[in-house]
Amino acid sequence: MNGEYHYSKTPGIDHELAKEIQGAVAVGMEGSGHFAMAENYPVFKRYVGSVIDRNL
């Protein structure tokens, strides 16, 4: 997971990296940057919840 406003590691970089790792999934969080939990907790919670739901 990566915030769309992360200045040094964009979601695009994560998607390229995920292509190289078997089973990896890149998730770009809209409306947040590096510290997603502090910057936009409701958005962070929604994304984390969806990842947990997919992996339980």
DSSP string, 3-56: ETT-SSS-HHHHHHHHHTSTT----EETT--TTHHHH-HHHHHHHHHHHHHHH-
pLDDT band at 52 (very low <50, low <70, confident <90, very high): confident
If one counts the domains in the chain, the total is 1
> What are 10-30's pLDDT values in tens digits?
778 888 999 999 998 888 888
The parent domain of residue 19 ranges over: 2-55
pLDDT of residue 45: 92
